[in-house]
Amino acid sequence: MTLDAQRVEYETVGFDVGDADPDPFVQVHRWWDEWSAVAPNEPNAVVLATADAAGHASARTVLLRGLDASGFTFFTSYESRKGQDLDAHPVGTILASWVPLLRQVNARGAIAKVERAESETYFAGRPRGSQLAAWASHQSSEVTDRGELEGRFAEAEQRFEGQVVPCPPYWGGYRLVPDSIELWQGRPSRMHDRLRYERDAPGAAWRIVRLSP
């Protein structure tokens, strides 16, 4: 079957303004719990979209490590492409696409680094192999081959043998503080339900609007 001929009818229960919690983070957590119950791997995986200094967009999957009233938190190398993008344009979008449930969550807003202590606390709880990889991999930079990367990992193992692996100075967390959060529920005949939480500034009251599908 060709791509243009593939069709799936979305038979799901509706999602209206009266069904949504006034607090978007409560509602997103509710959906996330339902997704986590059926997701086979990495239920906290989301797509992060950013743009570089020239306005070129890029997207990649990151693992969400925090979701509360302060925003959406993830950790990475500050030297990575996304880190460089955020230096140029400290805004972005996070998208959670849950196809089996015919749902999406889309959050847009400013993105800033978290406090250093928060990054170090999170890093301390990572598996040792992941800690060493943060030192071995200069994320998004070119390598000649796999052997070079594995050599760097071996060097990191030797460097920190018998020691606690510290958090690299170029590694840490970011938090997206949303100005809008959109929830999408697939419905029959492409008459989907789209609700968007929006506010004028951080800390302001949220309002919910319905969007055309």
Catalytic residue positions? 190
Cβ of 156: how many Cβ atoms within 10 Å?
19
Angle at CA 53, nearest 5°, toward 48 and 57? 35
Distance (Å, whole) CA 68 – CA 133: 28
- Buried/exposed 185-213: b ≥16 CB within 10 Å, e otherwise: bbbeeeebbbbbbbbeeeeeebebeeeee
Q: SS3 helix, strand, coil % of the chain, rounded to 5?
A: 30, 30, 35
Structure token pair of residue 101: 């449930």
Q: Which among 149, 110, 156 is positioned nearest to 135, based on CA atoms?
A: 156
Distance (Å, whole) CA 9 – CA 64: 30
